[in-house]
Chain A
Amino acid sequence: MSSKSLSPTEPTWTTTLGKALAPRSVWPDKDELLDVVYWGKQVLSLLIGFVFGITPMTGLLGIISYVVISSVVAQHYVTKFQKVDEEEVGGFWELSKEGFGAAFATYMVTWITVYTYIMQN
């Protein structure tokens, strides 16, 4: 995912994406899986922000629903889709807080922008 010079063993983003979309991939480097979780959360945040903005979902419910959905989806992706033991990547807490700040901000910006558009029209 980064532009720094890659060693021959370091995966490119296309191979990582292929592994991320296939079930039960092998992840020798757990940080690679956490990177997938990070970017997955970004995409999910955009999606949820868009849907909640259009619906429109308002109030504390919108925030709590996002936190619950993002944590549960990340956990299910790792344990059920990739069949990786949660403890190998640091447990439920580590998975939940992986890129949480950036993903939450992405969600808020999308939610607010779409909601503003809906309210304006």
Chain B
Amino acid sequence: MLADCLLIIGIAFGTALAGEGITWLLVYRSDQYKRLKADMDKKTKKLEKKKQEVGDTNDKNIKKKLEREEEKLKATNRDMSMFKMKSMFAIGLAFTALLSTFNSIFDGRVVAKLPFYPIGFIQGLSHRNLIGDDMTDCSFIFLYILCTMTVRQNLQKILGFAPSRAMARQQSSPWAPPSSQMNYLR
């Protein structure tokens, strides 16, 4: 079982590296993306600074100005998402196919022992395609998702592809993680 665990960590590392590499080739290295990202960073920082300077104001003019700035930021964000979308979609498809291949290799195999008893909806993942009632048996998909969560995010941070904090603060509420974090299955 330990060999399977280590193999899955290796697979997650390999696929995350390949995913980031292909995204770099198709998206990150292009001049248009770099321009859009720099523009986005600049606008986000400017808006944050303005918001801090203004604080809680009731002045309608200032509020309107801030709203206009936010609209501009959203438009740039939309452009950036559109630019990324096509290649992300292609990469997503390729990696979903790869995932199903790995899934069939590890089909029905207990790859690890869980040190906890998973609750209801987690069991669907952690005990997927496994025979037996021992819910502490772990399937490939559960461990792979966990590995991808940690490897992808750390890799993006090391390589500098992660969105800046100011950008993340503007885009998401405290309850919603940045969308890139949700692509665990890639």
A: which residues have CB within 8 A of B?
1-4, 31, 34, 38, 42, 52-53, 56-60, 62-63, 93, 97, 99, 101-103, 105-106, 108-109, 111-113, 115-117, 119-120
Contacts and interface: CB of A to CB of B under 8 A. Distances in A.
Given A53-B115, A59-B116, A119-B113, A112 B157 contact: no
Contact of A102 (B112, B114, B153): B153
A113 B165 CA distance: 32
B55 interface: no
B174 A2 contact: no
Nearest to B164: A31
B154 interface: yes
B158 A113 contact: no
B138 interface: yes
Contact of B146 (A52, A105, A120): A105
Contacts of A2: 157-160
Interface residues of B, number: 29
B150 interface: yes
B27 interface: no
B115 A38 contact: no
Interface of B: 1-2, 5-6, 9, 112-117, 138, 143, 146-147, 149-150, 153-154, 157-160, 164-166, 174, 177, 181
Contacts of A112: 5, 112-115, 138, 143, 146
A3 B149 CA distance: 21
Interface of B (DSSP majority class): helix
Nearest to A115: B115
A1 B156 CA distance: 11
B121 to A, nearest CB: 16
B165 A109 contact: no
Contacts of B138: 112
Given A119-B113, A120-B2, A3 B9 contact: no
Contact of B149 (A1, A59, A101): A101
22 contacts: A3-B159, A3-B160, A4-B160, A31-B164, A31-B166, A58-B115, A58-B116, A59-B116, A62-B115, A62-B116, A101-B153, A101-B181, A105-B150, A111-B115, A112-B5, A112-B113, A113-B9, A113-B112, A115-B115, A116-B1, A119-B113, A120-B2
